[in-house]
Amino acid sequence: MLNTSANGQNELSDREVLSLASAGDAEAFGELYLRYVDRIYNYVYYRTGNHHDAEDLTARVFFRAMRHIRNYQDRGVPFSAWLYRIAHNLVANWHRDNSRRQEIPLDDISYRQSERQLPETTLLRTEEQAELLQIIRDLPPERQQLLILKFVEHYSNAEIGTIMGRTEGAIKSLYHRTLLSLRNKFIGQQGPKGPLPGRLS
Amino acid sequence: MKIKFPWTKPADEDLAQLEDLLSITLTPIAPRPDFTTDLQDRLKTNMPAPAALAAETRPSGQYWTFWGLMAVVGSLLLVLTGFRFYAALLGALGIISGFSGRPTKNKRAASLKPAA
């Protein structure tokens, strides 16, 4: 049984929980699951574009992790990197098996908006977001992963580097190239009178 | 929102606006609570026993078979073709793998391969 403090925070570190889970402790693996399920779900959701496949693949990620938990070797890389690696491989297989394109329903796009925004502005922004998501989905997998880790999970460049197996400098460079590529594709879709700059401000 | 300085280039403004749009587009989405609890229960019930986990991590014979086979083929090639041809072949293979492999200077992510 895992100890929890009075304020509900877990006392055990990932490493300690991992060692228990490796020994076959179901409670410990359950704890790891609770710590990472949201992050893995988000990653898979943005890579697949729909909740149904996101749920299916997230379940597969954790079942695979459970089967191979004994093989996990602590090489100074966080446990999340291992989980993201499994998720990345499963999503790659999923994309290979599903050559058909899938659209994200607009209802599913979560976006923050000011209550004072005019309906026209909101509609315009929703369209832009849908277009942007479509362009992101056309990016190479590693660039998609970088954007998801940066904007959804708010990881630093150094943390993303650890997860993706690259240096911090390489991540910075990749991020800049990804932004440039996104901008060019976005302007290309919108035409010369596109939203950048102007409509967004 | 980034501060717009008078010396900011238009291209940088574009990127800043794009980052703003990305930050409002790529937001965390919580999975269904039903899904989270159901999966947790399924994982708990399917957690292999410690003995089964240990058996699963026992080194597989596949690697030994592969390397044994490679050793036999290598020895046969050496005997049949002579040292010069063999060395040239190994050199060529080394050059090819050197050019086609991924850069090794960056640290790689955690491997899923079972420990040997």
A30/B31 Cβ within 8 A: no
- The band of B65, judged by pLDDT with boundaries at 50, 70 and 90, is confident
Contact B43 A66 (CB under 8 A): yes
Q: How confident is the model at residue A6 (pLDDT cuts 50, 70, 90)?
A: very low
pLDDT at A169: 93
Residues A105/A51, Cβ–Cβ less than 8 Å: no
Nearest Cα of chain A lies from the Cα of B66 at a distance, in angstroms, of: 21
Which residues from B are below 8 Å from A196, CB to CB? Answer: 14, 17-18
Beta carbons of A196 and B18 less than 8 Å apart: yes
Q: Which residues of A touch B107 (CB under 8 A)?
A: 165-167
Reply yes or no on whether the pLDDT at B101 is more than 90. Answer: no
Distance of residue A99 Cα from the nearest chain B Cα, in angstroms: 24
Whole-model pTM: value is: 0.66
Q: How many CA atoms lie within 13 A of A23 on its CB side?
A: 8
SS3 assignment for B81-94: HCHHHHHHHHHHHH
Residues from chain B contacting residue A111 (CB–CB below 8 Å): 24-25, 27
CA of A37 to nearest chain B CA: how many angstroms apart? 8
Stretch A109-125: mean pLDDT? 50
* Reported ipTM: 0.72
> Buried b / exposed e across A172-195, counting CB within 10 Å, b at 16+?
eebbeebbeebbebbbeeeeeebb
pLDDT in tens, B18-50: 888 889 888 898 899 999 899 988 888 887 766
- Pick from B17, B24, B54: which is nearest to A196 by CB? B17
Q: Which of B8, B17, B26 to mutate to test the interface with A (most CBs of A within 10 A)?
A: B26
Is the Cβ pair A63, B46 closer than 8 Å? yes
CA distances from A98 to A53, A95, A165 (A): 11, 5, 27
Name chain A contacts of B112, Cβ cutoff 8 Å: 68, 71, 82, 85-86, 89
Contact A132 B15 (CB under 8 A): no
Chain A residue with Cα closest to B40: A30
Measure A16 CA to nearest chain B CA, in Å: 17
Instruction: Name the more confident of A99 and A47.
Output: A47
Q: Are A87 and A40 contacting, i.e. CB atoms less than 8 angstroms apart?
A: yes
Per-residue model confidence (pLDDT) at position A126? 78
Q: How many CB atoms lie within 10 A of CB A143?
A: 18
CB contact under 8 A, B10 and A75: no
Helix (H/G/I), strand (E/B), else coil: A63: helix
